[in-house]
Structure formats: structure tokens, C-alpha cells
Amino acid sequence: MPASRDVTAARVAIGSDTDLAWVRQQVRQAAAGLGFSLVQQTKLITAASELARNTLIHGGGGYMEITPCPQGTAPGLRLSFVDSGPGIRNVEQAMADGYTSGGGLGLGLSGAKRLVHEFLLDTCPGRGTTVTITAWATVVPSARPEAT
Amino acid sequence: MTDQVGANEAAAAQVCSFLQRRREQIAQRWADASLFRTVFTLSREEAVEACKAVVDALADVALSGRPEDIAAPAFGTVRDQLGRMAASRARAGFTPAQISEEVAALRAPVVELLRGEFTDSSEATAQEGVLALTVLMGSLRLVVMETALSAGEELIARQRLQLLEVATPVIKLWEGIVAVPLIGTLDSARSQVVMESLLEAIVAQRAQYAILDITGVPTVDSLVAQHLMKTVAAARLMGAECIVSGIRPAIAQTIVHLGIDLGTILTRAGLADALAYALAQQGIEVSAHRMARASTR
Amino acid sequence: MNRAAAGHPLAVPVLALGDVLLVTLQGELHDGMAEQLQQDIAQRIARSTVSGVVIDISGVDIVDSFLGRVLSDIAAGARLMAVRTVLVGMRPAVAITMVELGLTLPGLVTALDTERALDMLATAPQLAAVSVPAERKEARDAGLP
């Protein structure tokens, strides 16, 4: 088993594009500490980057909350992206591939959803949006030296 | 009814105090039992300490008044220890049933000790005490059994992962050409492993061409087709070209029937055709003429 | 070698190798830096004789839809000025993630490493344009003298 470092809950403010880099770094550190594989880490960081950018651009800034969330023996991470911006009026439309209101490729929400195990969108027009994603690491146990 | 419960609780409390009092003697006897002796080979002292931990846990369970409760928190504290023992026995080739027998063998020395205490006491109290202890030891046996089984499951899961890797070798066919001959059913987990190892091989071998040969894949459903397409797309992003070979007529029909568009994917009938294509793209000609000429010369 | 040139914290250096522009992206890339790079490349193409652009992303840990769009835009902008762009060195984990995200960067030519990208740019343009969708290829060919 890879040595998993202690990962504690933390909150990261999202107010500028420098903060996006900070979000990515925090998520990488936590995911690596919990033993996520390189591909699993990359997927989670990419999803976090998409959602943090949404928080910044559409929500006018906010914060990310990062919480360890193990399931059985599998370590996991839960990330919440919270803003108190205008909210999303048409959730179905916002979740569709290719829909964009911010000049991106329109893959933010739908793409992020495909990169994680759980995706929860909570929005209220005029009061803000919270997107919560969760991913679990499939731990590949290392071969035991005594096994022949 | 209430009397019965009261009697049970009294017996459990009795067992608890017995276990606490005779902790040292029980541990000394158990340390020589095959279960502990074969696991703690370093020193007898270590085995005695392990035995004491188990005795303490049993005393705690008895104190709770529910010796039949295998989910008792007190068992949790020795689960790690029990798990280590069970895993060690399992590795030595013991079946869960055999391990369970070894745990059962721990009962006799303790019961003997307990009986020894009751020579002066009334027959009924002695019976109650022995019964409570027996139930307690039965619970211990179940806990070990459960731990042994879950250790077995872990072993199976680990071997399954090892098998996944063994079952998907990436072969270098030529300078700059790698291939994965896929054999057997492709599920989501295996497709993921195939994708990752093929892409890693592309980097390691600096391979411009990657061949996915599905001759040995019995069926292709939409999920598998999707994985193939993802692999091809990922390879393309890295600057390599993927060729899917060995699509048998039946599979080709299924793909058409499912309405999957493999139009963007480069396909060839067999692995040899795919290799010939990749070689030709690199400007390497495989010619029979030269061979023929060489032999006539 | 190119790492030494990446010392400036605010801008991504654009090196000229003959008539090919070479860009090496490293580590964390802020959105502003990526947009600045897009402008820098466009200006370099307009100012001097450039036959191709090679963007090395072997040092990049993640490509999200923003960076993906910037890379596509760089290539599309260069194409309008008859300059080809080759993206090289994408890591496997990044490629897997991009495909899952839905970012397949159509129209972007890719290569395993800089050496091969330079080979591609040096050889016949038809060969290098294999992965370019037909209509885009025609448009580009029409723009060439």
C-alpha cells in the first residue's frame, strides 16, 4: 500500500487566475497524498480547474472546499466549489456538451462530470452555485515481497 | 426471563474477571498453540504479548455482557492482529476452515483453567461460566474466520490486478511500432489498463504507430468500442497513430448493428496487415523480390 | 536546454530555430500567460518569416478546456497566415484526461517529440497534414502560393 499522508480539510479562495493555479496545486497535493494514481490525479485536477474557472468567471469568485472522504478502504476526495453569483438558470442547457456562456469550449460542467465518480450541482438563480465532486482512488496494492 | 438475563450477565462478568485475573497464564498457554507459535516466529515473548492483547479484547467483550456479539468494538482492537495471523496462515496454504480449527483449539486450555476455579463453587455457576466462555470463544472464532475470508478477498483482488497487467503485454514489433494483442473479454477496468499501458509504451518506445489487435476478443459491445475510440483519440493527441486490427466479420456486423461509427479509426484485417501499413508509412518496404533475387544469386 | 530560457516568470519564451518557432510550456501556466503567448506567437509570425510553430507540452501536467482552446486558437491563427503548428510531447495521463473531458483538438497536428515535429515541418506539407480534417486542409492549401 502506498503510504498515504494525512490530508486535512481545507478551504481555498478563488478570486483570480493565480488562485486557479493554487487550487490545482492544492488538489494535486491532496490527491497524491491519498495515493491517487497519476491518471486519477490528472483527471481530478483537470475537473477542479474547470470548476474553479466557472466559479471565478460565472460566479464572480468564491472558494473551494477540499475534504477527504474515504469509502471503505478506498481513499477519496470531495471538492466543493462555492460561489454566490447569479446562479444557473437553465441547468440542463449548462450541462450539455458545447454550451458556453464564457467563451470557453463549453466543456466545463459536462466535461468535469465525466472526470469524476460523483457530481452534484446545486444552484439557485440569484443566490449562487455549489458544485460538489467526489473521486475515489482505486488503490493498486503493491506485490508482497514474500509472495512467491 | 429477567432472571435469565441477570444470570447471563453475572456469568459474563465472571468470565471477564476470570480473564483479567488469569491473563498471564492464558497467554502463556496460548503462546504454545500452533496458531500463535507459527505466526510469531521471532520470539515467544512477542507471541505472549499478542495473546495478552486477545485476552484483553475478550475480557472487554465479556464486560459488555454480550459475548455473542461479533461486531463488538473490542474485537475491532484486535482485528488487525487477527488479520495478520489469518493472512499468515492463509499464505502458508491453510484454508479458512483449518484456521478456524486452530482458533477453536484455543478454547480447551481456557475452559480447563476456568473449570479449575470452580471446584468449590456450585455446579450451576460453573456451568453458566463455562457456557459464557464457550460462546465468547465461538465469537472469536467467527471474527477470525471473517477476517481470514476478507483477507482472501483482498488476495483475489490483488491477483486480479496482477492478471490484468499480465494479460495485456505491449510488444515492440519494429522500431517505432508497438502492438497489444488483446485476448479475452474487455471490461471497463481492463480497457483502462490497456489504454494506459499502450500510451506509456508509445512514450517509452517513441512509437509512431500503435496496433490494437482484437482478434482474440470474443465480443465488442458499445462500451468496448467506446474505449477503443478513446484510446485511438488519446494516442493521436500524443502524436501517434493507432491501428485497430483483427475485427472479425461477426464483430464487424455487431459494430454496424449497434450503430457505432468507427469511421475515424484506421482499421486493418489482421495484425500482419496493420504492421505492413505501419512499415509502409515509415517508408520501409517489405519485399519478397529481394529475397527471391538473393536466393537465385 | 529550453528550460533555462523559461526563467522569466511572466512570459513563455518563444525561441526561433531557423524559421521555426519553438515554444516550451512548463508546469503551472496561468491563464494570462497562455493568452500572452497566443499574442506573442501571432506577432512573431507577422514580423518575420516563419514556416512552422512547435509547441512542446511534455512539461505540462494538465490541459484543461481553457488551455486546450488557447492551443487550438494558436494553431488556427497561424494557419490563417499559412504557418503550420505541431503540438508535441503530450503525456499519457494528460491525453487520457483530455479525451475523457471531450477535448480532442481536431485540426491540431501532433507529434511525439520536437525532433519529429521538425521533420514533419521540413518534409512535404501534404504528409504533415494527414491529421488535418479535409475541409481545413483544403482551405490551408488554397492559401499557400
C103-123, pLDDT tens digit by residue? 888 889 999 999 999 998 988
A39 with C101: Cβ contact below 8 A: no
Average pLDDT estimate for C16-44 = 90
At residue B165's C-alpha, the angle toward residues B163 and B167, to 5°, is 65
Q: Alpha-carbon dihedral of residues C104, C110, C111, C115, nearest 10 degrees?
A: -150
Best residue in C57, C99, C104, C132 for a mutation probing chain B (most B CBs within 10 Å): C99
Any domain includes C23: yes
Note the pLDDT of residue C133: 44
Q: Alpha-carbon dihedral of residues A65, A68, A69, A74, nearest 10 degrees?
A: 140
The class that CATH gives domain B171-296 is: alpha beta
pLDDT at A40 over 90: yes
**Bridge pairing between strands B209-216 and C20-26:** unpaired
The class that CATH gives domain A10-134 is: alpha beta
A118 in contact with C, Cβ within 8 Å: no
ipTM over 0.85: no
Q: Are A77 and A67 in contact (CB under 8 A)?
A: yes
B161 with A140: Cβ contact below 8 A: yes
The single residue listed with the C-alpha cell 496454504 is: B93
Q: Which residue of C has its CA nearest to B282?
A: C127
Note the pLDDT of residue B231: 93
B157 with A146: Cβ contact below 8 A: no
Choice among A16-25, A29-38, B162-171, C3-12 with the minimum mean pLDDT: C3-12
B226-250, pLDDT tens digit by residue? 888 899 999 999 999 999 999 888 8
Note the pLDDT of residue C73: 92
Domain spans, chain A: 10-134
Give residue B66's pLDDT band: very low, low, confident or very high (50, 70, 90).
Answer: confident
Tally the domains of chain C.
1
Of B252, B238, B166, the C-alpha closest to B209 is B238
Give residue B164's pLDDT band: very low, low, confident or very high (50, 70, 90).
Answer: low
Q: Alpha-carbon dihedral of residues B170, B173, B179, B183, nearest 10 degrees?
A: -80
Task: Name the residue facing C110 among B200, B230, B236 (closest C-beta).
Answer: B236
Q: Are A73 and C88 in contact (CB under 8 A)?
A: no
The fold of the B2-160 domain, in CATH, is Globin-like (1.10.490)
Any domain includes C144: no
Higher pLDDT, C30 or C87: C87
A141 with B154: Cβ contact below 8 A: yes
Q: How far is C64 from chain B (nearest CA, A)?
A: 14
Any domain includes C22: yes
Distance CA C14, CA B292 (A): 53
Q: Which residue of C has its CA nearest to B200?
A: C92
Q: How far is CA B217 from CA B183, B255, B270, in A?
A: 5, 13, 13
Of A119, A139, A138, A134, the C-alpha closest to A66 is A134
Any domain includes C145: no
Best residue in A140, A142, A144 for a mutation probing chain B (most B CBs within 10 Å): A140
For C29, the domain range is 2-138
Q: How far is CA B161 from CA B30, B156, B164, B186, C96, in A?
A: 37, 9, 5, 14, 20
* Cα end-to-end distance, chain C, whole Å: 35
A114 with C102: Cβ contact below 8 A: yes
C96 with B234: Cβ contact below 8 A: yes
| pTM above threshold 0.80 | no
Any domain includes C109: yes
The amino acid at residue B131 is L
